[in-house]
Structure 1
Amino acid sequence: MTHTTLSTAQRDRAAGVLLGLACGDALGAGYEFGAPLPDHTPVRMQGGGGFGWAPGEWTDDTSMAIPLARAAAAGLDLRDETVLDGIVAQWVDWAKTAPDVGVQLRAVLSRTEPTASAVRQVAKAHHDRHGRSAGNGSLMRTAPVALAYLHDPAALAEAARLVSSLTHYEADAGDACVLWCLAIRHAVLEGELDLRIGLPALPADRRALWEGRFAVAETSRPADFARNGWVVEALQGAWSAIVTTPATDATHLRLALDAAVRGGRDTDTVAAIAGGLLGARWGASAVPAEWRRIVHGWPGLTAADLLRLGSSATPDLAHAQAESVDYAYLGDVSTLVRHPHDDGVWLGAAGALDALSAEIDAVVSLCRVGTKQVPTRIRHRVEVRLIDDDDPAKNPNLDVVLLDTVQVVAALRAEGHTVLLHCAQAQSRTPSVAALYAAVHRGVPIDRALAEVIAALPAAAPKRFLRDAVVRLAEANTDSPHQGPNTEGARA
């Protein structure tokens, strides 16, 4: 298959699709079947719910998306019947032990041999028997299909409808998957939210119908869609949460997912649907680290696995599955020192991962690391997308990422963990984030924090864009004003 070469920001957005879906799913899991919540009610990734989910555990929405994402990552054509056979076989095997499988999906997946043609026939029979088959179960899993066809919108529309029809015969379900997948593709490539971009891909006699449905969603609240087990109202609820939540910056992703969950009833599915599109718009870097720390699910995957799986759907990221990233070409990458303002935080370069002291039990990586680079004993690990490049396009969510990162370091410390904060060389990213942490969470004036962190690190020389950002953010989030260009003890 032909593929599209993506920019750095587009890669982040592509990687955000699967992660956003899973986090929306896990966020909503604990609220499923509940009534709508009042505006501004706090929403947490708490687990629980009717199936006793663990905090951060995703449900059937993401589990069914995983085989599709794996096929996309392998460069397979989802219109190929043999490929679909393999996906269906994985679904059928998963459904045998899954605690939560939708009524329509279970009816289809449990009554036939595990092939695409057989499941498709059962889906049609189910539709003929009940007169309807437009549950939300095909839309909830559809986001990865978009990643397989970023280069070809026509093929994407065809594949989205074909994959939907495996289990959902009714036209509304296929239409919804086409519309959502084309919106995800557009968001990844253009950084815009536009659900109408897919209308021309629908049959002409169905476009006005969907335009009217969009208009209703845009003038309603998620809670207004009480029948969100139906694919139409699930899509409307997700779109309503997205468009009625102010989108001033990347915090839109979290706020819109909160709104989707507050809509009530099928909360995990509506939030999963919204999460795929929000991840495509804002990127993996917009997904809160507190969610990335704990999100997990079938078949034993974590946020780091989802990031690599989503990234691998675009083959120009061939390094995504490397076991280790060698930074030796940068020179000495063995730096490891204590944070001058918190003995429970260590600051280092990537080489420090090879010789961690026993007291370090959490790692926050500010650079790319391999799948086996962080020691397996480290249960608490967070990978942060922070590019050491002063081109603003490389870090579109810079302020959100920086504040989110220091917040997760503070949260790990509050839990009693000893944290390694590292980048490739401990030169620019590590001292910048370490200084912002000291200013926001340790009460150290930002000028002093920068000077003393830089003095502690042998190669420290933060780039100007990061210096400016941490000073600006420290001023906005503390009571200590910046004192001007004080570089006491610092190297330029």
Structure 2
Amino acid sequence: MACGDALGAGYEFDPPLASDASVTMKGGGGFDWAPGEWTDDTSMAVPIVNAIAAGHDLRDEAVLDEIVAAWALWARTAPDVGNQLRAVLSRTEPTASAVRVVARAHHDRHGRSGGNGSLMRTAPVALAYLDDPVALAAVARTISTLTHFETDAGDACVLWCLAIRHAVLEGTLDVRVGLDALPADRRALWEARFVVAEAGVPSDFSRNGWVVEALQAAWSAIVQPRSASGGASAAGTVSATPAGHLQDALEIAVRGGRDTDTVAAIAGGLLGARYGASAVPAAWRRIVHGWPDGLRADELVRRGVLAARADGGRSRRNPAVLDRRARKDRLATTWPTADHLAYASSGHISTLVRHPHDDGVWLGAVGILDDLPAEIDAVVSLCRVGRSQVPERIRVENRVAVWLVDEVDPRANPNLTFVLEDTVDAIAALRAEGRTVFVHCVQAISRTPTVGALYAARHRGVPIEQALRELTDALPHASPNAAFVRELVPRPLPAPRPGALAIQP
């Protein structure tokens, strides 16, 4: 969601782009965004995901008061606040009950309140009720009506949240799964709208500031690419992996023009639910950021995981299930909330060697982070690390966290091909910027030699069998798992995807 938002920020209010036009996370635009900076879409979603991650129930009016207060604080200095949202948030005290009254009055005064401002922020709501679709539908509409009284806005949030839930749990994209949660007299209307979206392209929906056309444009962008089945994207390139659908679809959403950041953010929420954070290109994750200052991709992943944890959902409905103090103590020492993960009991965690084919790449184990050589100024982590485990001197855009699980079961790494290729492209991008890169997992046994070998083959021209043999020899405990070896050896190695470029130091 955040990456779609930041990708579209630099193109907001522009006319549609050609189908082969390049789309990059360039920043700029009418509000002079920094490259990778998200806009109001994600900024309004942050207080929602914060509340869920903290274990709060969105059905609690006091929790909604906290969310509204955070929105009001953000809106005081935000460069980009929609007209409807600004009108609602600035005319009363920042409580849920007060803004509802103003939102209803705004609707009555203007005869409509169907802007896309509630749909753009709704994705995190789905994570709060993955095990309760009835509650999810009710809460999605409740949070929409805080600022948008119109029925279309509430319907759109219900439909999108239930589609996100379905994508998380079932791994498929289906915007119709929520139709039965709507009033009976509105289901045919939305079915007809979906049919129109699927027959068109995002640029057909020129009034995408309206919630209905924003949803139609987002869904149109999602169903346009054929890259999920190996076909060509609208840009004329071929995505080698199903996960490439996420990048293709977000670029297509932006090419639709006008409210580009919001349409791409909406699409991103659903695509992220289907493919997961591991499908988001490292080139985007390195630079995406926004309000509140200092919030970056890794932290969004952490909060998303906390929000989606099933035990958190049950404990909100039955506090006896999980003692809050015990939960707090556990979270203080485990991922995703711990500052430092203790891997000392894992065995050999002090391995450090230079890559056989690139002296600017170091390979090793997680323990090296505690005493990182001075020449290293970029870190690629192939295992989980604590919030402050990578030394502070490593600039945040030079830290790449990779979701790669050392297991043979293919379900552990559903985007394995994409993740491996994208990771070595990120290493190459860091090297192109002049960085000295440390690549590590826990013990440098399986993930590190796998990535090191693919880097040598993809970017240094070394035959993959030779590269794998040399990396295994170089790392004293190396023994890549069978799934990783099968992924490397039998397949041709495609060229790096366009857009995997270095960023400025």
Quick check: TM above 0.5? Answer: yes
What corresponds to 2:411 in structure 1?
Answer: 393
* C-alpha distance in 2 between matches for 1:415 and 1:34: 31
Indicate the SS of the match to 1:96: helix
What is the Cα deviation at residue 308 of structure 1?
A: 0.3
Which residues in structure 2 correspond to 1:285-364 (within 5 Å)?
285-300=278-293, 301-315=295-309, 318=331, 319-364=335-380
What corresponds to 2:97 in structure 1?
Answer: 117
What is the Cα deviation at residue 74 of structure 1?
A: 1.5
* C-alpha distance in 1 between matches for 2:447 and 2:492: 16
* C-alpha distance in 2 between matches for 1:62 and 1:476: 34
In the alignment, is the contact (CA less than 8 A) between 1:324 and 1:371 conserved in 2?
yes
1:222 aligns with 2:238: no
Indicate the SS of the match to 1:313: helix
* Deviation readout 1:129-153 (Å, 9 max, x if unpaired): 1000000000000000000010100
What corresponds to 1:75 in structure 2?
Answer: 55
* Deviation readout 1:304-333 (Å, 9 max, x if unpaired): 110001011033595311111122222120
AA in 1 matched with 2:268: G
* Deviation readout 1:365-389 (Å, 9 max, x if unpaired): 0001110110111111011011110
What is the Cα deviation at residue 118 of structure 1?
A: 0.5
* C-alpha distance in 2 between matches for 1:471 and 1:447: 6
AA in 2 matched with 1:135: G
What corresponds to 1:185 in structure 2?
Answer: 165
| CA pair 56-283 structure 1, distance change in 2 beyond 3 A | same
Which residues in structure 2 correspond to 1:338-487 (within 5 Å)?
338-379=354-395, 380-477=398-495
What is the Cα deviation at residue 404 of structure 1?
A: 0.3
What is the Cα deviation at residue 471 of structure 1?
A: 2.0
1:195 corresponds, among 162, 165, 175, to 175
* C-alpha distance in 2 between matches for 1:450 and 1:354: 28
* C-alpha distance in 1 between matches for 2:489 and 2:55: 44
Runs of 4+ in structure 1 off by over 6 angstroms are none
- Stretch deviating more after TM superposition (253-262 or 68-77): 68-77
AA in 2 matched with 1:273: I
* C-alpha distance in 1 between matches for 2:2 and 2:271: 12
What is the Cα deviation at residue 474 of structure 1?
A: 5.0
Indicate the SS of the match to 1:140: helix
2:245 corresponds, among 235, 244, 252, to 252
- Percent identity, please: 71
* C-alpha distance in 1 between matches for 2:363 and 2:463: 19
What is the Cα deviation at residue 477 of structure 1?
A: 4.7
1:35 corresponds, among 12, 15, 20, to 15
What is the Cα deviation at residue 158 of structure 1?
A: 0.4
Q: Which has the higher contact order (CA 8 A, sep 6+)?
A: 1
* Deviation readout 1:236-290 (Å, 9 max, x if unpaired): 0000000111122110000000000000000000000000000000111100010
Indicate the SS of the match to 1:427: coil
The aligned length equals 458
In the alignment, is the contact (CA less than 8 A) between 2:458 and 2:493 conserved in 1?
no
| CA pair 28-349 structure 1, distance change in 2 beyond 3 A | same
TM-score scaled to structure 1, two decimals?
0.92
In the alignment, is the contact (CA less than 8 A) between 1:412 and 1:419 conserved in 2?
yes
* Deviation readout 1:419-455 (Å, 9 max, x if unpaired): 0110011000000100000011011111221121111
What corresponds to 1:155 in structure 2?
Answer: 135
* C-alpha distance in 1 between matches for 2:110 and 2:372: 60
Structure 1 gap ranges (5+): 1-20, 479-492
* C-alpha distance in 2 between matches for 1:389 and 1:314: 22
What corresponds to 1:176 in structure 2?
Answer: 156
* C-alpha distance in 1 between matches for 2:267 and 2:393: 34
Structure 2 gap ranges (5+): 230-241, 313-330, 497-505
AA in 2 matched with 1:292: R
* C-alpha distance in 2 between matches for 1:197 and 1:48: 37
* Deviation readout 1:57-89 (Å, 9 max, x if unpaired): 000000000000011112211121111000000
What corresponds to 1:210 in structure 2?
Answer: 190
In the alignment, is the contact (CA less than 8 A) between 1:157 and 1:181 conserved in 2?
yes
In the alignment, is the contact (CA less than 8 A) between 2:41 and 2:262 conserved in 1?
yes
* C-alpha distance in 1 between matches for 2:438 and 2:186: 55
* Deviation readout 1:99-157 (Å, 9 max, x if unpaired): 10001000110111010011110101110110000000000000000000101000000
* Deviation readout 1:4-49 (Å, 9 max, x if unpaired): xxxxxxxxxxxxxxxxx00000000000000001112111001000
* C-alpha distance in 1 between matches for 2:70 and 2:361: 43
Indicate the SS of the match to 2:286: helix
* C-alpha distance in 1 between matches for 2:132 and 2:262: 27
* C-alpha distance in 1 between matches for 2:154 and 2:99: 16
What corresponds to 1:269 in structure 2?
Answer: 262
| CA pair 110-193 structure 1, distance change in 2 beyond 3 A | same
Indicate the SS of the match to 1:421: strand
* C-alpha distance in 1 between matches for 2:491 and 2:66: 49
In the alignment, is the contact (CA less than 8 A) between 1:108 and 1:122 conserved in 2?
yes
| CA pair 205-23 structure 1, distance change in 2 beyond 3 A | same
Indicate the SS of the match to 1:396: coil
What is the Cα deviation at residue 475 of structure 1?
A: 4.3
Indicate the SS of the match to 2:428: helix
In the alignment, is the contact (CA less than 8 A) between 1:46 and 1:54 conserved in 2?
yes
* C-alpha distance in 2 between matches for 1:325 and 1:448: 34
| CA pair 474-412 structure 1, distance change in 2 beyond 3 A | farther
What corresponds to 1:44 in structure 2?
Answer: 24
* C-alpha distance in 2 between matches for 1:60 and 1:473: 43
* C-alpha distance in 1 between matches for 2:91 and 2:278: 41
AA in 2 matched with 1:269: T
In the alignment, is the contact (CA less than 8 A) between 1:436 and 1:474 conserved in 2?
no
* C-alpha distance in 2 between matches for 1:399 and 1:472: 12
What corresponds to 2:116 in structure 1?
Answer: 136
What is the Cα deviation at residue 472 of structure 1?
A: 3.6
In the alignment, is the contact (CA less than 8 A) between 1:349 and 1:423 conserved in 2?
yes
AA in 2 matched with 1:369: V
AA in 2 matched with 1:410: A
